[in-house]
Amino acid sequence: MRLRRLALVCVSVSLVGACGLVPQGGGTERRTVTVWLMKDSASKDFLERFTEEFERTHGDLDLDIRIQEWTGIGEKVQAALETDATGATAGPDVIEVGNTQVPQYVEGGGLLDLTLESLRDWGMRDWLPGLAEPGRQRSTQYGIPWYAANRVVIYRKDLFRQAGIEAPPRTREEWLTATEKLNSAGNQGIYLAGQDWYTLSGFVWDEGGDLAQEDGGTWRGTLDTPAALRGMDFYRRLQALGKGPVDADEEHPPQAGVFAEGRVAQIVAVPGLARAIVQQNPELDGELGFFPVPGKSADRPGAVFTGGSDLVIPNNTDARDGAVAVVEALAGAKWNTELARTMNYVPNKTTLAQAVADEEGVAAMAAGAAQGRATPSTPEWANVEADNPIKEYMTKVLTGADPATEARRASRRITEALAVPFG
């Protein structure tokens, strides 16, 4: 078993190399809460301000915030969760993890049950479902939503004006009609790669379907249900209104570069991609707009895959009360909205969306996040993504194969992958 002897960087403003118990004046013993946060999740200035206020309002606690790299983080977290709390080297008391990673850490029993605090103190009923649901296993809450990001439609305002489209579409049918108008005069109505399975997932969820479902403790692929097939059919109709490659995903080639070339009216992406587009084509500065992925009706946006992070507490922490206090502060309204404004994230609660209403891209993202979902809540889902049959299924359908036949084949492969223990 690997001990918690990890070479990490401590970025606490009040502690320079200090970890463990720090004696203070008057004989009072201060305790240190060690927090692992991921690189670029929060700015240095945000962490400094948070640390200063937290330590001022929690007189017996010091923060030791250590920044982690995403690469290899799974193994580091697993090692930390397995290390006995009596080990000589202090491990993390709070860890930021990707929202869809929580199930794999729950599997080994390494996370603290935070259901009581979530119900009683933290307003879990208002949490974004795409963050909250992956953090919950059999009604027990382990992962506490921190921040979210999801896809929206980035569009060219000038091309919309030229096509006589006065306002962004609010329903799927309006979206198809608008995109067909835009798909003319040498322009692509939308650039949608054939294997963008995250975007497909939203259409499937909108129809009431899912990628996989659990029945009696057994997971099976469900792309072959009527609802999931309707989602794929909408994807096919939309994707045909552009020249996206049917045998590649949105990163091959990177869709920001395709959009920047100037003949694409829309893409489906996170709002932050707009910066990369403008860097490659400065003439588009001021011409990019954002709207939520449209739903089946105008009263609510379409479902979207929600990415982001949850906060978890290891079972082996020896600073439980301090760790809970850190999670409560980071996920609470004050610092959560401050993080959202600073980093252009979606806050963790639907009730906090107003905090980012003045940022067009983030506001569109927040509207979609209210309908957000995540991949099936099982650690074995990582097996599916490792050799993703959904991508192959999409390409087959877009090149004319029978959707029902290919959906059954893909669903069988998903079921097989979910039957193999993760790790």
Asked if 138 and 217 count as a contact pair (C-beta separation under 8 A), the reply is: no
**How would you class 323 by CB atoms within 10 Å of its CB: exposed for 0-12, middle for 13-18, buried for 19 or more?**
buried
What's the rounded Cα separation, in Å, for the pair 163 and 170?
17
Asked if 346 and 369 count as a contact pair (C-beta separation under 8 A), the reply is: yes
pLDDT at 287 (0 to 100) = 97
State yes or no: pLDDT of 6 exceeds 80: no
pTM of the model as a whole: 0.86
pLDDT at 41 (0 to 100) = 95
pLDDT at 83 (0 to 100) = 74
Q: Which residues contact 413 (CB under 8 A, 6 or more apart)?
A: 221, 389
Asked if 380 and 345 count as a contact pair (C-beta separation under 8 A), the reply is: no
pLDDT at 262 (0 to 100) = 86
CB atoms within 10 A of CB 122: 22
Q: Which residues contact 327 (CB under 8 A, 6 or more apart)?
A: 94, 114, 144, 311, 313
What's the rounded Cα separation, in Å, for the pair 229 and 403?
7
Mean pLDDT computed over 321-340: 97
* Confidence band of 255 (pLDDT split at 50, 70, 90): very high
Cα distances from 275 to residues 21, 281, 308, 359, in angstroms, run 44, 10, 19, 14
pLDDT at 85 (0 to 100) = 56
* Confidence band of 364 (pLDDT split at 50, 70, 90): very high
pLDDT at 7 (0 to 100) = 33
* Confidence band of 30 (pLDDT split at 50, 70, 90): confident
What's the rounded Cα separation, in Å, for the pair 365 and 88?
44
* Confidence band of 49 (pLDDT split at 50, 70, 90): very high
What's the rounded Cα separation, in Å, for the pair 126 and 329?
17
What's the rounded Cα separation, in Å, for the pair 54 and 49?
9
DSSP 307: E
Strands 94-98 and 29-38, by their bridges, are: parallel
State yes or no: pLDDT of 150 exceeds 60: yes
- What token pair was written down for 39? 């690189």
CB atoms within 10 A of CB 278: 17
pLDDT at 231 (0 to 100) = 98
pLDDT at 84 (0 to 100) = 67
Task: List pLDDT tens digits, range 62-94.
Answer: 999 999 999 999 999 999 998 765 554 568 999
pLDDT at 3 (0 to 100) = 31
Amino acid at 194: G
Mean pLDDT computed over 120-149: 96
Asked if 332 and 311 count as a contact pair (C-beta separation under 8 A), the reply is: no
Q: In the chain, what percentage of residues exceed pLDDT 70?
A: 91
What's the rounded Cα separation, in Å, for the pair 36 and 54?
16
Taking the alpha carbons of 312, 318, 324, 325 in that order, is the dihedral positive or negative? Answer: negative
Q: In the chain, what percentage of residues exceed pLDDT 90?
A: 88
* Cis status, amide bond into 292, omega within 30 of 0: no
Amino acid at 394: M
4, containing H or E segment: none
Task: List pLDDT tens digits, range 122-131.
Answer: 999 999 999 9
Task: List pLDDT tens digits, range 97-112.
Answer: 999 999 999 988 999 9
What's the rounded Cα separation, in Å, for the pair 258 and 242?
12
